[in-house]
Structure 1
Amino acid sequence: MAISNQTTDKVREQVDIEEVVNDYVPLKRKGQNLWACCPFHQETTPSFSVSPAKQIYKCFGCGKAGDPIQFIMDIEGVGFTEAIRHLAKKYGIEVEEENSLDPADIQEYNEKESLYIALNYAKDFFHKNLESGEGASIGLSYFKERGFDPATIEKFELGYSLDGWDHLLNKAKGAGFEESNLLKAGLILERENKPGNFYDRFRGRVMFPIHNLSGKAIAFGARIMTQDKKQPKYINSPETVIYHKSDVLYGIYQAKQSIRQTDKCYLVEGYTDVISMHLAGVENVVASSGTSLTESQIKLIKRFTDQVTVLYDGDDAGINASLRGIDMLLEGGLNVKAVVFPPNEDPDSFARKSGKEGFRKFLEKEEKDFIHFKIDLFAKDAAEDPIKKAEAIRQVVLSISKVPDPIIRSVYAKESARLLGMEEDILLTELNRQLLKNQQKSKPSKFQKEADSSPIEALLPGSPEEENIKIQPRSFKEERELIRILINYGFEMVSEEMHVCEYLLEEIKDLNFSTPIYQELLGHYKNALRQGLLPKFDYFLKIQNTKIKQEVIDMIAPTREVSKNWETKHQIFSKRESDDLSETTYKASLKLKSAYLKRMRDELEEKIKLAKEDEIDALLTMHMELTQLKSQIDRELGNVVPSKN
């Protein structure tokens, strides 16, 4: 059903841009306008402006602009009609319908609304079960044992699913819900080999509703209450059209106001961690719910604050496994700190044990910025082992390189050098090397972009597009050689624990191939690995592409062959590349890196020729660093290094 023009007009008249935007990002007044870091792209300096007088927003970084309705459409990823409904609900405006929507739009809207209604019906059903005999003795007792008071149970709308096959199913059908709708919502399952026979997904579990930003239940997490080892301890709702777990943070609805007010977000792992921290008076907390942190979740945090503190259980293995999340947070433009709890403690247990005041004091005292946290983490192992210390330095530098703000990067580098007891220049050299590596990975050269977007035939002999190619990539032969080694020896062992392909793919993971045909062959190789295959050359000959087949044949066919008599009769033995695959693969990767550095340096020289006077010094510095890196690789290869090679 379409929304009437009268409803739309009322929404336009009553909404306030400041109130609408402030639900998502904290605004700060500067002059007549309000400013924030843009919620639509990553930035460290606010360029997102809101004009209360004009009722508009404008980002001077990414160009996003509009009125309150457009803002909701952009931020929530919804259409015009859903944005109007969202704002009408916020301002208590009655929605009047008209019969003019496209049938497909009506179907999509109705499907989403039906899922919201079903899931929120289930939420209320589970919550009310806490008043039943079974729910009170099992579910409510569990919550009380954990110290959850009635207000907190209400706040998070906790519940219990009765231990039976069809309690929710029968209750919902009695209320008019169709089985197909309950199935789409992930509330029931269909028995295998028995079409049309359904049963409850959640049985005998305490229920944790997962809310979206507006407070609607969109999914559930559920913990089993029995000791049945055949059943997983926790199960979650499946993904639906309204629930994508990578976009959701548990507790964000209950935490968003506190996050804005404190300008900080605590990040934990589980549902009970969040709830226990609320009980301890710390409400600006969300959980990734046991999943790896995603870019969407990071952007969700950044809507409300740039400050995030990650809370880690007192378990070294768990901490090391979660370190990637810190780098992702840094890359997302957030300022990251960390707190580690004592051994065998987590936020839930420690909050209950230490009490409100003790818990909050612990957080304040133990909070460290990510530099001190990472260095302390590696300090024990690195103290007596130079190799481990070098690796610790690389790990710290890798994290610093993720920070988008160059000033903050510089401060972190200086502090890291001091804490690690090393010369700042050495650390900066390593940092610059990593930055160049990151830049190459995220921003390929102009030629690379053109080559990547061209058809494979564009760089092959006899192609009709050949006349349009003015530049042949200098890494052409090195890329070909590396693919040749992959196809011929990728399945061989380069060490006791590693295949040739594993080594080479790790070494080149940050490089973008310039030549489309080799990029496509590399893609086929990786696709085979994803399918569990360790491909040999015959795998590639089955590909329905004549030019790829020809290229592979050229790669596997030997260019020359040593006479058998050379060894058997004359006892003269020639060294083959397969005799020492370790050296062969190592040199192939170095040659490719050297070629890439040379191309980057050549491109930089062209920029220098056209640069303005105030840009030349920075470009020359970068040119010198590229030359030094290339020289180091060439020395490793045993090449004679002239002044400009």
Structure 2
Amino acid sequence: MAISRATTDKVKDRVDIEDVVGDYVPLKKKGQNLWACCPFHNEKSPSFSVSPTKQIYKCFGCGKAGDPIQFVMDIEGIGFNEAIRQLAGKYGIEIEEEKQATPEEVQAYNERESLYIVLNFAKEFFVKNLLTEEGKAIGLSYFKERGFTPEIIEKFDLGYAMNGWDYLLQAAQKGGHSTDLLLKAGLILQKEGDASRFYDRFRGRVTFTIHNLGGKSIGFGARILTQDKKQPKYINSPETEVYHKSDILYGIFQAKKSIREKDNCYLVEGYTDVISLHLAGIENVVASSGTSLTENQIKLIKRFTDNITVLYDGDAAGIRASLRGIDMILEGGLNVKAVVFPEGEDPDSFARKVGSAAFSSYLADNAQDFISFMIGLHADDAGNDPIKQADLIKQVVQSISKIPDPVIRTVYVRQSAGLLEIDEQIIQAELNKIYLKSQKDQFFKTQNSPTTDFVEDLLPTKEVPTALYRLIELQEREMLRLLVNYGFEMVSEELHVCQYLLQETEELEFKTPVYAKILTLYKEALLQGVLPQPEYFLQHNDQEVKKEVIHLITKKYELSTLWESRFQIFTHHEADDLAKTVYDSILHLKKKVIKNMLDEAKAKIKEAETEKAQEEVITERISVYMELKKYQVEIDKQLGIVISF
């Protein structure tokens, strides 16, 4: 089956000629293009040219030429579909198989391509306007005052929108572009109360072209240069079929190579901040363009690096208001540092004030990890006020809880405990409380569905296939190991590990006899007011129980204490994060049980079909199967397992 047009479009949008060709040959910059010895024929002097701006390659020796997809086809000797599949894998794009395209889908594709064409026309129009008398006097003089060089102006496709009602509209119509397309691209507006009158959206402003990852023009930001209080300082393109603000970052096209090379991404707020850093020789920088940071923007950065340094203006109130962005970055699995500029300064003004060398040194000297940054930001306010100090601790713990990597999380727990001068266990207890609440809120949202009764009825009585039985047995053992070793530990201020484990698994019946026996003994002890520790079971008369408990409490390998005490190598211990360890164990056991139930439900469907049961019976059994499947998908999601169909 052919690959869907939607998949092909996604590949075309994300693919980057420099990135693709760079996987095969080393590229060197020379002028506006990149050069290499041609991979298609033997040569000693580079004649193979790559244009990042045009997203094409050409060999002046053998004549090979094309776009990124054609390059993969040529270099790998494969067809178009195979090249799309390969590039989709490289960029993490899910492949959708094509059904026959409907007329509506064909129209949508053609319209999308037309939007790129008309937006590129607008970009070139704004750029050329800088050469007009008005453009030189207003637009170009503004850029020069900011210290923007001709190279920077060209690099970012900076331009000027003429101060008139319909300069772009008239030029676009002469170029064969329809009014309808210009409207859909967000380049013109319709006059209120007069459906036949249109005018340019951007007028009398300098323009900043917004590019997608592949370098195509997808929108514009425009800054007014007069002191008109009735007009906003900046206006931006609206959302369109090709421009989604939450999915793009200003400067990502120009920055992606440097981000990958430096293994770090500077994050700023505005267009001029990005450009000023480029002028200072720092190219690994992007901007959220004044909007709140989004999950998709964080994922976009993560494709090139795991490290983000957020640059903050010297405004304490503004910094506090934007701290949520740090939590989102941490949740996205990235490492975060922060740099704060002096009071009243932003990256643009500070870079112009101190110069390139001093600016680069300032970034290097003032970058701090997010824990030190947050504590330093709130420490003065908290002072000796115990309420404010407690609030600060909760804020820090809340941020640490967003970190998915348990080793990194453990290191930050220790660091924050030292900086806040409190017991590490207090922070860990707060973390456990947050973790338990969030996981419990998310897990099994469909708990009240009709499937629940089916689950409870099915569990105790059904035969389990041997292979699956072994998996369930191993997971039951893990549950008992945690219960015996840590049941008496506190997973939060109000809850013991054993309480949490038992209440989360009360609907499950253990199938391995010895584990069921230990579980029963444990529950009986609790009813008698005893919180059993390993010694409780070792004194039991049942030899099978004693032997199994010995296995449960004995570790095959122990890490040397010298790792931490002498060499300062900190490792993650399961006891450091009991909430997650216990919760994951519960999920794994439920996953195995539900796998058994899915097999049983599938057999019931097949049985009904074989016996030609009534359609209502078959439909009901399929419904049960689908509900169970939802449970399985939810569990996999919680465990971080990606399912591919």
Q: Same fold (TM over 0.5)?
A: yes
1:280-429 correspondence to structure 2 within 5 Å = 280-429=280-429
Aligned to 2:631: none
1:548-627 matched pairs, under 5 angstroms:
601-604=502-505, 622=578
Matched, 1:451 2:352: no
Alignment partners' CA distance in 1, 2:226 and 2:172: 25
Deviation at 1:470? 4.3
Which position in structure 2 is the counterpart of 1:640?
none
Q: CA deviation at 1:20?
A: 3.3
The offset of 1:108, in angstroms, is 1.8
Give the deviation of 1:450 after TM superposition.
3.8
* 2:541 corresponding residue in structure 1: none
Evaluate the alpha carbon distance shift between residue 117 and residue 169 of structure 1 in structure 2; reply closer, same or farther with a 3 A threshold. same
1:161-201 alpha-carbon deviations (Å, 9 max, x no partner): 01110000001111111101111100001111111211101
Query: Residues 17 and 55 of structure 1 are in contact (CA less than 8 Å); yes or no, is this contact kept in structure 2?
Result: no
Matched, 1:236 2:137: no
CA distance in 1, matches of 2:149, 2:197: 39
The CA deviation string for residues 295-340 of structure 1, in whole angstroms up to 9 with x for no partner, is: 1000000000001100000001110011000000000000100000
Note if contact 1:268-1:310 (Cα within 8 Å) is conserved in structure 2: yes
Which residue identity lines up with residue 308 of structure 1 in the other structure? I
Q: 1:349 to 1:18 in 2, by over 3 A?
A: closer
**Match runs of 1:17-416 below 5 Å:** 20=20, 68-73=83-88, 75=91, 102-416=102-416
What SS does structure 1 have at the residue aligned with 2:220?
Answer: strand
Cα distance in 1 for residues equivalent to 2:275 and 2:309: 17
Separation (CA, whole Å) in 2 of partners of 1:243 and 1:16: 18
Cα 1:101/1:132, change in 2 over 3 Å: same
Residues 158/599 of structure 1: CA separation in 2 closer, same or farther (3 Å cut): same
RMSD (CA atoms): 4.0
CA distance in 1, matches of 2:411, 2:335: 13
Q: Distance in 2 between matches of 1:260 and 1:76?
A: 17
Question: How far off its partner does 1:604 sit?
Answer: 5.0
- Which deviations, in whole Å up to 9, do the C-alpha atoms of 1:498-528 show, x marking residues without a partner? xxxxxxxxxxxxxxxxxxxxxxxxxxxxxxx
Contact kept in structure 2, 1:221 and 1:235, CA below 8 Å: yes
Deviation at 1:134, TM superposition (A): 1.1
Within 2, Cα distance between the matches of 1:217 and 1:365?
36
Distance 1:165 1:323, change over 3 A: same
Q: Determine helix, strand or coil for the equivalent of 1:186.
A: coil
Equivalent residue of 1:451, what SS? coil
Partners of 2:310 and 2:337 within 8 A in 1: yes
Partners of 2:301 and 2:580 in 1: CA distance: 39
Cα 1:21/1:411, change in 2 over 3 Å:
farther
Conserved in 2, the CA contact under 8 Å of 1:211 and 1:219? yes
1:193-217 deviations in whole A, cap 9, x for unaligned? Answer: 1112111011011100000011010
For residues 317 and 424 of structure 1, do their structure 2 counterparts lie closer, same or farther at Cα, with a shift above 3 Å needed? same
Report the Cα distance in structure 1 between the residues aligned to 2:372 and 2:220, rounded to whole angstroms: 37
**Residue equivalent to 1:489:** none
Instruction: Work out the CA distance in 1 between the residues paired with 2:154 and 2:227.
Output: 27
Q: Which runs of 5+ in 1 are unaligned?
A: 24-53, 57-65, 83-99, 459-464, 472-592, 627-645
Distance 2:452 2:581 in 1: 35
Go from structure 1 to structure 2 and tell me whether the alpha carbon gap of 1:320 and 1:607 turns closer, same or farther (over 3 Å shift). Answer: farther
User: Partner of 2:447: helix, strand, or coil?
Assistant: helix
Aligned residue runs from structure 1 range 473-484, under 5 A: none
Q: 1:622 to 1:77 in 2, by over 3 A?
A: closer
- The CA distance in 1 between the partners of 2:258 and 2:576, in whole Å, is 48
How has the CA–CA distance of structure 1 residues 71 and 273 changed in structure 2, closer, same or farther, with 3 Å as cutoff? Answer: farther
Distance 1:622 1:101, change over 3 A: closer
CA distance in 1: counterparts of 2:291 and 2:337, whole angstroms: 20
Checking the alignment, whether the CA contact within 8 Å between 2:16 and 2:213 is kept in structure 1 is no
Change over 3 Å in CA distance of 1:319–1:21 after alignment to 2: farther
* Runs of at least 5 residues in structure 2 that lack an aligned partner in the other structure: 24-74, 458-493, 520-547, 556-573, 583-645
TM-score (norm. length: structure 2)? 0.60
- Give a deviation string over 1:52-110, Cα, whole Å, max 9, x none: xx989xxxxxxxxx96522544648698899xxxxxxxxxxxxxxxxx96533431221
8 Å CA contact retained: 2:428, 2:576: no
Cα distance between partner residues in 1 of 2:241 and 2:433? 43
Q: Decide whether the 8 Å contact of 1:72 with 1:78 is kept in 2.
A: no
Q: Retained in 2: the 8 A contact 1:17–1:68?
A: no
Cα distance change on mapping 1:622 and 1:424 into 2, 3 Å: closer
Q: How far apart, CA to CA, are the structure 2 residues paired with 1:294 and 1:272?
A: 21
Aligned position for 1:46: none
SS at match of 2:425: helix
Distance 1:375 1:607, change over 3 A: farther
Q: Indicate the residue corresponding to 2:637 in structure 1.
A: none
Distance 2:264 2:20 in 1: 21
Indicate conservation of the 8 Å contact 2:85/2:95, yes or no: no
Give the secondary structure class of the aligned counterpart of 2:355: helix
Task: Specify the SS of the correspondent of 2:139.
Answer: helix
Kindly provide the CA deviation profile for residues 326-368 of structure 1, in whole angstroms up to 9, marking residues without a partner as x. 0000000001000000000000000111111000000000000
Alpha carbons 1:338, 1:370 under 8 Å: kept: yes
Match of residue 539 from structure 2: none
C-alpha distance 388-623 of structure 1, shift in aligned 2 (>3 A): closer
- Counterpart secondary structure, 1:286: strand
Contact 1:307 1:334 (C-alpha < 8 Å) held by counterparts? yes
**What is the CA deviation profile of residues 7-64 of structure 1, one whole-angstrom value per residue up to 9, with x for unaligned ones?**
x9xx9xxx999953978xxxxxxxxxxxxxxxxxxxxxxxxxxxxxx989xxxxxxxx
Cα distance in 1 for partners of 2:576, 2:275 equals: 55
Which amino acid is 1:603 matched to?
A: E
Contact 2:435/2:579, CA 8 A, preserved across alignment: no
SS, match of residue 328 in structure 2 = helix
CA offsets 1:476-510 (integer angstroms, 9 cap, x no match): xxxxxxxxxxxxxxxxxxxxxxxxxxxxxxxxxxx
Q: Secondary structure at the match of 2:147?
A: coil
SS of residue paired to 1:128: helix
Residue type of the partner of 1:130?
L
Give the percent of matched residue pairs that are identical in Structure 1 and Structure 2: 59
Residue correspondences, number:
429
